[in-house]
């Protein structure tokens, strides 16, 4: 279950990372999609910053993939902790800055970012509980 959750996180980071890195203007204008425009709520557009964000997501996707493939609890914990740190910091900014979003989009974006914090935290907790029952 933990490795499956890590795969889901890897796929999400790969999707967002490739989108932001290789189509930065489209990412800025459209993210997260479905008629919502959360990234564009923080103008002005800056290609450098969006491609850097994409590179960060791609790096997290790579690390998460390694953590899912290797059967090493220490690697899983290190990678999930790193993802958790990034997601907490990301949430922290957006929780304090609404940009130009209305209340519905702002609430949805903060909820999505909070889910990004809960996901790796829950996976770490599950893995920690299982480690107490199972030797390395």
Domain locations along the chain: 2-133
What's this model's pTM, rounded to 2 decimal places? 0.93
pLDDT (tens digit per residue) in 55-94: 999 999 999 999 999 989 999 999 999 999 999 999 999 9
Note the pLDDT of residue 132.
87
135 pLDDT higher than 80 = no
If one counts every other C-beta atom within 10 angstroms of the C-beta of residue 97, the result is 11
Note the pLDDT of residue 136.
54
> Which one-letter DSSP state was computed for residue 45?
P
Mean pLDDT over residues 93-113, rounded?
98
Q: Write the CB contacts of 20 (distance below 8 Å, at least 6 apart in sequence).
A: 27, 31, 50, 51, 53, 54, 57
């Amino acid at each position: 279950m933990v490795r499956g959750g890590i795969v889901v996180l890897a796929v999400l980071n790969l999707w967002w990372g490739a989108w932001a890195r290789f189509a930065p203007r489209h990412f800025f204008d459209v993210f997260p999609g479905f008629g919502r425009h959360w990234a564009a709520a923080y103008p002005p557009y800056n290609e450098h910053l969006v491609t850097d964000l994409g590179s960060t997501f791609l790096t997290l996707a790579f690390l998460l993939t390694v953590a899912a493939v290797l059967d090493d609890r220490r690697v899983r914990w290190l990678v999930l902790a790193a993802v958790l740190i990034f997601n907490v910091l990301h949430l922290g900014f957006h929780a304090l800055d609404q940009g130009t979003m209305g209340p519905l989009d702002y609430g949805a974006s903060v909820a999505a970012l909070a889910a990004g914090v809960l996901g790796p935290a829950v996976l770490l907790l599950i893995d920690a509980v299982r480690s107490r029952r199972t030797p390395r």
